[in-house]
């Protein structure tokens, strides 16, 4: 009986060991076939799983052979799935890139904008020197500029209209000529109604000899009619409205807003401001027109200096930084100005040829006596001189007064067609 029991237990043990050995072999073959191209990490994991499978029968002795086989199969599938899952990110051809994070700071942005803002070097020092040179206020613009040409006792709308007319007359005209024309107009009651009642010939006589006086007569009449019709007899109080007037450009409009309305809308750039700004290097690049200079200056110049800069540079250009041959030797900015001494080089006086002396071998050739002796006498010389004198100068008697001298030299007299009649009713005559 005992021997039968022993045989039965031995048979069961042999069956279990055979099943375990067969399952382990199949598992090894399948793993070797499916994991040939895998890395070392899945193989290590498979060996660990294999060891756990081999230990399973020892823990469960009551397990049947069918259950053991199913357990081995499930474990093998799980090992394969885990191996494939772990292998996917390792064999992927795409590599993850490290993302970039942009960090912004408000203080650093403001500092960067401040660094990017262009401004000329030494401009504050140059401006202080110009203020020092303009401290006496004795330039023509200080005495006869647009701020000095209107009637201070007139009504406010009349004063503003007179400021506009003085700016229109100042274009391409010296300040003393503009001041004289404004004085004559004020004597005839310079106002909107008075100008509309005035004919073109009378207005031309009063503003002559300003530059382009015929064109300015037409612009003044048209602008005055528009002011009366659309602005109730007062000049516009906006930059756009002022530029709608005929003959009014950006420079006049900005200056009119500043002087007449006491509002700073921009920098008034005329020929002096345009020239000096380019000479001092106050523009990022060289500008060709005053309007380009205005935009270049407004990009960096502080707004509280826009009203002062026109007055400073105009007087400075009239006294020191002249259009031709500027006085760089007396300018305080001669050491910081990029154009100093280049536009006004030291010109050498033309030396007259040396006169030959008595000991010179060419003394006989330079002697007028020897030349007169060698040349034949010209008997018609005196006759030609008399005819020339008669053609150039004539003694004429006028109907309204004593005799006057009239010169026939066309180069000195100039064209008389654009010159209006004088108050005496004569044209092109000069009193002696």
**Residues 191, 317: Cα–Cα separation, whole Å:** 32
**For 368-412, what is each residue's pLDDT tens digit?**
333 333 444 444 444 555 554 444 434 333 444 333 334 444 444
Give residue 286's pLDDT: 95
Give me the pLDDT at residue 341, please: 83
Q: What is the mean pLDDT of the chain?
A: 73
Residue pLDDT, tens place only, 3-19: 554 555 656 666 555 55
Q: Which of 3, 27, 311, 31 is nearest to 143 (CA)?
A: 311
* Mean pLDDT of the region 352-372: 42
Distance of CA 127 to the CA centre of its chain: 19
Residue located via tokens 């474990």: 75
Q: Which residues contact 407 (CB under 8 A, 6 or more apart)?
A: 392, 393, 413, 430
Q: Measured between alpha carbons, how far is residue 358 from residues 69, 305, 368 in Å?
A: 146, 69, 13
Catalytically active residues, by annotation: 251
User: Is the distance from CB of 184 to CB of 201 less than 8 angstroms?
Assistant: no
Q: Is the pTM of this model over 0.85?
A: no
Residue 342 confidence (pLDDT): 80
Judged by average pLDDT, the poorest of 90-94, 115-119, 396-400 is 396-400
Q: Quick one: tokens of 408? A: 């026939």
Q: Confidence band (pLDDT; 50, 70, 90) for 424?
A: very low
């Amino acid at each position: 009986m005992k021997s039968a029991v022993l045989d039965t237990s031995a048979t069961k043990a042999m069956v279990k060991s055979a099943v375990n050995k067969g399952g382990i072999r199949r598992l090894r073959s399948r793993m070797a076939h499916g994991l040939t191209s895998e890395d070392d990490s899945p193989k290590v994991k498979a060996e660990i799983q294999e060891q756990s499978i081999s230990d399973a029968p020892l823990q469960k002795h009551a397990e049947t052979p069918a259950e053991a086989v199913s357990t081995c199969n499930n474990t093998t599938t799980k090992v394969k799935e885990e191996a494939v899952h772990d292998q996917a990110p390792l064999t992927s051809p795409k590599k993850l890139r490290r993302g970039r994070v942009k960090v912004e700071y408000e203080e650093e942005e403001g500092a960067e904008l401040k660094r990017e803002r262009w401004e000329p070097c030494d401009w504050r020092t140059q401006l202080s020197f110009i203020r020092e040179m303009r401290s006496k206020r004795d330039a023509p613009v200080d005495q006869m500029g647009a701020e000095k040409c209107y009637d201070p006792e007139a009504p406010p709308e009349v004063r503003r209209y007179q400021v506009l007319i003085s700016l229109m007359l100042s274009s391409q005209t010296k300040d003393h000529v503009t001041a004289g024309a404004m004085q004559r107009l004020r004597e005839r009651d310079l106002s909107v109604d008075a100008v509309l009642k005035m004919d073109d010939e009378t207005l031309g006589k009063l503003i002559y000899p300003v530059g382009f006086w015929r064109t300015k007569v037409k612009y003044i009449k048209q602008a005055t009619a528009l002011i009366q019709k659309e602005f109730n007899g007062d000049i516009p109080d906006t930059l756009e409205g002022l530029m709608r007037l005929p003959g009014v450009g950006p420079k006049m409009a900005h200056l009119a807003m500043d002087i007449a309305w006491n509002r700073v809308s921009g920098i008034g750039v005329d020929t002096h401001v345009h020239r000096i700004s380019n000479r001092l290097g106050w523009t990022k690049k060289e500008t060709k027109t005053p309007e380009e200079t205005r935009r270049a200056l407004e990009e960096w110049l502080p707004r509280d200096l826009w009203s002062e800069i026109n007055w400073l540079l105009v007087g400075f250009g009239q006294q020191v930084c002249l259009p031709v041959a500027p006085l760089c030797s007396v300018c305080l900015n001669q050491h910081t100005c990029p154009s100093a001494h280049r536009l006004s080089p030291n010109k050498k006086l033309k030396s007259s040829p040396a006169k030959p002396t008595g000991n010179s071998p060419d003394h006989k050739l330079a002697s007028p006596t020897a030349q007169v002796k060698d040349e034949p006498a010209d008997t018609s010389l005196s006759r030609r001189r008399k005819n020339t004198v008669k053609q150039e100068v004539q003694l004429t008697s006028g109907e309204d007064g004593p005799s006057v001298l009239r010169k026939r030299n066309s180069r000195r007299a100039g064209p008389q067609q654009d010159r209006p009649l004088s108050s005496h009713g004569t044209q092109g005559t000069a009193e002696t």
